[in-house]
Amino acid sequence: MEARELRYFLAVAEELHFGHAAERLSIAQPALSRAVRRVEADLGVELFVRDGHGVRLTEAGEALVGRTRDALASLEEALACALEAGRRTLEGALSVGVSPLLRHGVAPAIFERFAVVCPAVRVAHREELSGPLVEELRERRIDAALAFCPPRKEDLEYEPIRDAELVVLLSAEHPLARRAAGSPRVGRGEGHTLEERAAGHAQARRAAVSLGELREEQFLLPSEAAAPGVRARFAGLFAAAGFEPRYSPRAIDHDEEMLAVREGWGVVLVSRFLLESPPVGTALLELDPPARVDFELVRRAERPSPELARFVEAVREVGATPV
């Protein structure tokens, strides 16, 4: 007698209807009926009464239901424990590239989850923009990338992790930031108590602007080589808002957003996962209507190593967890 056949018996016992049980199990009803008959033949007893009134459990069937449910639960627990133990015995190494825009929240949660299920695997990770990450993947210098708008290559596989809301990072002295915060000093740390600055930051983060209100601004973006997918994605957003953007001559290829914004080089669209709070001298504004972008797991289109397969599972688990 197989565990699968016991699962079939339990489904019929719970549904008391062969058709409904077959639908629940995604199998054909005749195959289900034959499996239940085999269980009855192995035991030498009738488990169900089948007549014009429907399907009912016999006394033998009633006796088997509870024990079967417990036995299957114990089996599933044993298999889960074996799988978990197998994961913990992995002792390899992984190298993962990470977009700076995943710095807070998502990337740390993924690495923490992976450390729980595979504590002996050594993980090296560093931040880089999507263009270089994709090339490093193709050159086998890293095993996977957690990337923002990565460029498409035929020899790589892409899997969405989670989408993220875009916000506008601009100078605290910008008229839009002053209007939103109700103060010319938000983020500068001058003339306010800590509590007042915190309240100003919260207010600025709640304020909203449309992309159309930014049509006269200069937008800071990474260079085409560093993030070609970002430029393409943002071009679509600007086109949908009805204007041709002006780009700042300064590229932000090396995590220079905050400095460039404070120095007045322009405004930048960033993910909420990049910043926990507005840095000194800057403000964050919501976009209305909201704009969201995808972060993706990128890896080579080949059979993954056991360590990488477990890492992919950790990424999916975190991605499926509500923010």
User: CATH code at 48?
Assistant: 1.10.10.10
Residues 302 and 285 in one domain: no
Check whether residue 83 and residue 103 sit in a common domain.
no
Q: Cis (ω within 30 of 0) for the bond into 289?
A: yes
Domain count along the chain: 3
What is the per-residue pLDDT for 83? 61
pLDDT of residue 195: 43
Output the pTM of the full model. 0.62
Out of 32, 60, 88, a domain closes at 88
What pLDDT, on a 0 to 100 scale, did the predictor assign at position 205?
43
Q: Are residues 171 and 273 in the same domain?
A: yes
Residue ranges for the chain with pLDDT beneath 70: 1, 78-89, 180-206, 276, 322-323
Per-residue DSSP letters for 226-264? T-HHHHHHHHHHHHHHT-PPEEPSS--TTS-HHHHHHTT
Residue 196 structural domain? 165-293
Residues 171 and 262 in one domain: yes
Residues 306, 223, single domain; the answer is no
Does 304 lie in the same domain as 266? no
| Statement to judge: residues 10 and 83 lie in one domain | yes
Among 265, 280, 275, which Cα is nearest to 188's? Answer: 280
Same domain, yes or no: 187 and 288: yes
* Domain shared by 186 and 263, yes or no: yes
Q: The CATH number of the domain where 155 resides is what?
A: 3.40.190.10
- Please give the angle made by the CA atoms of 87, 92 and 94, to the nearest 5 degrees: 100
Give the pLDDT score at 197.
Answer: 45
**Is the separation of the CB atoms in 312 and 299 below 8 Å?**
yes
Return phi, psi of residue 283, to 5°.
-140, 155
Residue that terminates a domain, selected from 26, 59, 88: 88
Judgement on whether residues 261 and 189 belong to the same structural domain of the protein: yes
Co-location of 150 and 223 in the same domain: no
Structural tokens at position 247: 């780009």
Domain match, 158 and 298 both: yes
Instruction: Decide which of 59, 88, 117 is a domain's last residue.
Output: 88
